[in-house]
Amino acid sequence: MSVDKIINDWKKKIFKPVYLIHGDEDYFIDQVIDFAEKNILSESESSFNLSVFYGKDADWINVVNACKRYPMFSELQVVIIKEAQMMSSIDKLEAYVESPLSSTIFIIGHKNKTYDKRTKLFKLIEKKGEIILSQKINDDKVHDFIFSITKKHQFNISEKAVLLIQQNIGNNLSRIVTEIEKLLINLKEKNTIDEDDVEKYVGISKEYNVFELQEAIAKKDLLGSLKIINYFASNPKASSIHAALPALYAFFSKVYSVYGLSDKSESGIRPIFYNNYYSTKQGMNAMKNYGYAGVERVILLLQHYNLKSLGVGDSGSEDAMLMREMVVKIMLKD
């Protein structure tokens, strides 16, 4: 079951006696737990009927006793365990889950990893209640996620601003939401987020970032590439070789895959670049400037320098020096 479906059910007062929300994407787990804590019960009901435990400090006996209580001045009570992955005696909850009270909504939030499906507790929750798996979203979904968050707040966002956020934050959804909310607080009378706003309030330079480095390499702009790398060297928080190389590798891998398409027009290749106008233009520039063999060579160089950055075949060169050496080799054939 999805996060949206579970929250919609709760809004309609459709409840199961026990829920497990688990997985490696904290954002969706926090979203469900936060809704349960603030919205299932009214404010007056919560005073007597909401119990919140934290896994590290939770004693299973206290949790079970809370679950077995009957609600006061309400038809329902809510019991929540946050960060249940830290609870050493979580298996002791099996006896309660086997015969849960219909007046208790028991919610277990298990972060960082999936809960073991082979356990008795998992199988009992699957039988008696509902299980929601919270997984990290693929990179191709981050673009839409950023748009959906801004739209939810009734704001617009430019394509360039989306790319700056995506390239520099990746698929860390909690941080993306935090940064967007920070932007919205500062926009005042504006209703559209642009790259200037991202630079000013998120601290991502609109000129010196991984996306612009990608643009410079695609155009074979050696001077521009070196300028950006020098900026990274002077401002380590702006980016690192370990952030830049995976992004460049992902981009050139997409360019490489275009050669397998029968339709290599702009509209034909756009889906490869998640229908993003700027990324598609970059892809076309890379194809024009490097050709099939050149793109293949770039990918091999990116792999080679990724290994060097990890210390394989390198005695400890500075990241900036490796990056400079790499872009020179990319653009100036031996």
Q: How far is CA 100 from CA 93, 104, 106, 203, 264, in A?
A: 10, 8, 9, 49, 59
Distance (Å) of CA 192 to CA 176, 189, 304: 16, 9, 41
- pTM for this one? 0.75
Given this model, what pLDDT does residue 14 score?
96
Q: Phi and psi at residue 274, in whole multiples of 5°?
A: 55, 30
Residues 155, 184: contact at Cβ < 8 Å? Answer: yes
pLDDT category at 47 given cuts 50, 70, 90 is very high
> What's the DSSP call for residue 201?
I
Element (H, E) at 13: none
The pLDDT value recorded for residue 1 is: 62
**pLDDT band (50, 70, 90) for residue 213:** very high
Cβ(51)–Cβ(80) below 8 Å = yes
Summarize the confidence of residues 324-333 as an average pLDDT. 91
pLDDT band at 82 (very low <50, low <70, confident <90, very high): very high
Round the average pLDDT of the chain to a whole number and report it: 92
If you classify domain 3-134 with CATH, what class do you get? alpha beta
The CATH label, of 1.20.272.10, 3.30.450.20, 2.90.10.10, 3.30.530.20, for the domain at 210-331 is: 1.20.272.10
C-alpha distances (whole Å) from 44 to each of 116, 169, 328 are 37, 40, 66
Query: What would the pLDDT profile of 225-255 be if each residue is shown by its tens digit?
Result: 999 999 999 988 888 888 899 999 999 999 9
Lowest-confidence pick of 45-54, 117-126, 268-277: 268-277
Check residue 317 and give its pLDDT: 87
Confidence of residue 314 (pLDDT cuts 50, 70, 90): confident
Q: What CATH code is assigned to 139-202? A: 1.10.8.60
**Domain coordinates in residue numbering, the chain:** 3-134, 139-202, 210-331
Instruction: Centre a 10 Å sphere on the Cβ of residue 233 and count the other Cβ atoms it contains.
Output: 15
